[in-house]
Amino acid sequence: MEAFRVLIVDDIKSNLMVMAKCLQGLCEVIKAHNGRDCLELARTHPQPDLILLDVRMPDMDGHAVCKELKASPETESIPVIFVTGNDSEEDEEQGLLLGAIDYITKPIRPVIVRARVSVHMQLKQQRDKLRFMALHDQLTGLFNRYFLTENAEVRLAHFRRHKTPLSVVLMDIDKFKSINDTYGHEMGDLVLVAVAELLENNTRREDVVARLGGEEFVILMECPLDAAMVKVEKLRQQMEQLMPKGLMVTGSFGVVDACAEVMELNPLLKRADECVYQAKEQGRNQVVGWRTKPAALQEVTYKGN
């Protein structure tokens, strides 16, 4: 498990040192001396899990920084605790309305700082765990259908705006019911996990790999159909060599590319499913592609042995 990262932001060096000493041994501490540096570090991976943000800073105060953090999808989920010498109700209300989760008042009391940060560390970890469970398949750890649908909408909207290539891959494990019936569901689960790891470990970071349900998996690839077909054929070959517990496992793949005529995930999945069906009809263990031109099935097929 990665260390919990806390970003401390203050324009006074001695304050940074005092705050960092309060948190020594509790978490990993990173520091910023002004608002702009805070925003840059907040967007840098690995991102901070929590930000302790001084309110009174020159050029860009803590309120302006918090407002900008909460306005960006990239940083809006990072919890912010304000650190301030002003403990008026109006000042606290303004900070909370901007999206801060708590206040620490100056002068700094180490026990209070450590206790507050510890509580919010636990809350953040619990939220992250719940979010992971909501967006991931419990067995394989891949993204689930809910995340896939949400992410696909974003990808397709980006395609509409920028005309960037996008291909949708659907894969069905061949004769999976027979594996369950012959070797038991425990073996079936082992096969699902092994295939999931193969897909995740052999796709790019920007690709999305999800378990659609049962023995079906989906990959969103930011590349045109021809490039996707080559990548998927490599996956098919690697799957042949997987051999979980000495059992040969193969898959039938359908690949379609997004186009202006088809801008929703479900129609793309339907076409990919037709490609999978065709792959199985032709003997399984192969890749069939569908170029989404009007009324056209432009088939490209890679066949296994």
Active site members: 215
Instruction: Report d(CA 251, CA 111) in Å as an integer.
Output: 57
Q: Which single residue is written with the structure tokens 């051999």?
A: 243
Number of H helices, E strands in the chain: 10, 11
Q: Which single residue is written with the structure tokens 């070797």?
A: 183
- Beta carbons within 10 angstroms of residue 4's beta carbon: 20
- Nearest-Å Rg of the Cα atoms of the chain is 25
Instruction: Report d(CA 92, CA 111) in Å as an integer.
Output: 21
**Contact between 21 and 111 (Cβ < 8 Å):** no
Instruction: Report d(CA 30, CA 20) in Å as an integer.
Output: 8
> DSSP of 207-224, one letter per residue?
SEEEEEETTEEEEEESS-
3-state secondary structure (DSSP) of residue 206 = coil
Question: Which helix (H) or strand (E) is 58 found in, with range?
Answer: none
- The pair of structure tokens assigned to 52 is 């302790």
Instruction: Report d(CA 232, CA 229) in Å as an integer.
Output: 5
Among 132, 145, 266, 134, smallest CA distance to 211 is for 145
Instruction: Report d(CA 249, CA 240) in Å as an integer.
Output: 6
In three-state form (DSSP H/G/I as H, E/B as E, the rest C), the secondary structure along 235-280 is HHHHHHCCCHHHCCCCEEEEEEECECCECCHHHHHHHHHHHHHHHH
